[in-house]
């Protein structure tokens, strides 16, 4: 086990950049993940480039560390760990893992499209829900929050690494819909109840920006759907509404 004893070590700067900078993550093809459960779930299925733990974590979790796949293992002091992480109470473990390659969603029959979602917590929750309810891929309509943002990763609980993701624009999404013969369903407060929506196993569900909703092109042929509510409220949070629709439409 190697040890990092100085905060000026270039690896510390590298990890800090992975944590904060989307462009640097894309350039290196690497992602920094933290937290015992998330790291455990990932490294039981894939190998990390480097794994970092504190002395206390290593002593308490010696048997766990033997099960985790990594090319290199490093020991960090608590102050250095605190410098790298943005978490108030870090759990003593970080992993530097390869970023999944961007997918091509052609051939997928059930796709979640996210139109300019900005909140990383919402994005991560929607990714987790899509995986849990059996959707086959997620299309991120730019500009969208980075799914490998640290807050988005924490909210997704590892789902980001196990569901296909593709970035693009409306034109690309429409090409996919045409190639895959998919129907569009757009979440909209003025839409029909999702319970009355046409039944199909091949679809794209589009959820929109937290403040502006969905802004589809004029030529988009889509069924606008909503979630009926008994009490007058302005709207549901996009992650809550998305979870309901992802579950309900899957069963249609």
φ/ψ of 13, rounded to 5, equals: -65, -40
Name the helix (H) or strand (E) containing 161: none
Q: What is the CA radius of gyration of the chain?
A: 20
pTM: 0.93
**Digits of tens for pLDDT over the chain (252 positions)?**
899 999 999 999 999 999 999 999 999 999 999 999 999 999 999 999 999 999 999 999 999 999 999 999 999 999 999 999 877 888 999 999 999 999 999 999 999 999 999 999 999 999 999 999 999 999 999 999 999 999 999 999 999 999 999 999 999 999 999 999 999 999 998 899 999 999 998 999 999 999 888 988 988 999 999 999 877 666 789 999 999 999 999 866
Angle at Cα 154 formed by Cα 148 and Cα 159, nearest 5°? 70
Q: Under a CB-based contact definition with an 8 Å cutoff, are residues 153 and 124 in contact?
A: yes
Q: Which of 114, 105, 178 is nearest to 137 (CA)?
A: 105
At 32, list the tokens: 């920094």
Cβ contacts of 54-59, under 8 Å, gap ≥ 24: 54/78, 54/81, 54/92, 54/93, 56/92, 57/91, 57/92, 57/93, 58/1
Ordered structural domains, the chain, with CATH = 2-98 (3.30.1330.30), 110-250 (3.40.1280.10)
């Amino acid at each position: 086990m190697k040890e990092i004893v100085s905060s000026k070590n270039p690896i510390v700067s590298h990890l800090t950049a992975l944590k904060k900078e989307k462009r640097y993550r894309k350039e290196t093809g690497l992602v920094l993940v933290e937290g015992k459960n998330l790291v455990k779930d990932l490294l039981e299925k894939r190998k990390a480039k480097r794994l970092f733990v504190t002395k206390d974590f290593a002593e308490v979790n010696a048997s766990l560390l033997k099960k985790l796949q990594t090319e290199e293992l490093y020991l960090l002091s608590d102050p250095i760990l605190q410098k790298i992480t943005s978490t108030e109470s870090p759990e003593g473990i970080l992993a530097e893992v390869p970023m999944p390659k961007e997918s091509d969603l052609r051939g997928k029959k059930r796709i979640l499209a996210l139109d300019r979602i900005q909140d990383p917590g919402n994005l991560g929750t929607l990714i987790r829900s899509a995986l849990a309810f059996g959707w086959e891929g997620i299309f991120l309509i730019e500009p969208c929050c980075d799914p490998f943002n640290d807050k988005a990763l924490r909210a997704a609980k590892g789902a980001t690494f196990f569901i296909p993701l593709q970035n693009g624009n409306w034109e690309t999404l429409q090409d996919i819909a045409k190639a895959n013969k998919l129907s569009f369903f757009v979440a909209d407060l003025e839409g029909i109840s999702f319970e009355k929506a046409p039944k199909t196993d091949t679809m794209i569900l589009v959820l929109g920006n937290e403040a502006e909703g969905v802004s589809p092109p004029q030529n988009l042929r889509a069924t606008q759907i909503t979630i009926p509510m008994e009490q007058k409220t302005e709207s549901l949070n996009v992650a809550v509404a998305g979870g309901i629709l992802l579950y309900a439409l899957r069963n249609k």
